Amino acid sequence: MQLSKDAMLLRIFVGEQEKCGHQPLYEAIVMKAREMHLAGATVLRGPLGYGRTSRLHAAKMLRLSTDLSVVVEIVDTEDRIDAFLVALDGMIGNGLVTTERVQVRRYGKPDGPSEP
């Protein structure tokens, strides 16, 4: 069964070394999203990229960057993403945040007791 609905995709671009308190920022973001019961979050580590300063960050065998790009993607309704952005304001020092409207298509059985 395919279920379809409108949603928002939130992308948060930060450096791997960014912190929120004593933990990595990307981890703190995912934990906050989970605490606020958002639908889902994924952390993606970028092997190559650059940002505002145009400084190249690369993961190579002989030279490992100490601050690779990290992208946190979170999907939920627009209202829930907007509420999460308020919480996010106090967490991010440096980074880039984007949002876009998406259509979510879920495959599989609906949540609930399994059918015989």
For residue 46, give the H/E element and its range.
Answer: strand 40-46
Task: Indicate the residue type of 19.
Answer: K
User: Phi and psi for 20 in degrees, rounded to 5?
Assistant: -130, 100
Q: Classify domain 10-102 at the CATH topology level.
A: Alpha-Beta Plaits (3.30.70)
Phi-psi region of 92 (alpha: psi -120 to 50; beta: other; left: phi over 0): beta
Positive or negative, the CA dihedral 47, 81, 101, 92 is negative
Q: What is the model's pTM?
A: 0.81
Confidence (pLDDT) at 2: 47
| C-alpha count within 13 angstroms, C-beta hemisphere, residue 36 | 23
Other beta carbons within 10 angstroms of residue 64's beta carbon come to 9
pLDDT of residue 46: 82
Q: What is the pLDDT of residue 47?
A: 78
- Per-residue pLDDT, 29: 97
**pLDDT given for residue 61 in this prediction:** 47
For residue 49, what pLDDT is reported?
74
Coil, helix or strand at residue 51: coil
Domain ranges of the chain: 10-102
Can you give the pLDDT of all 116 residues of the chain as single tens digits?
Answer: 344 589 999 999 998 889 999 999 999 999 999 999 999 999 999 877 777 777 776 666 445 556 788 999 999 999 999 999 999 998 998 889 999 999 988 777 766 554 44
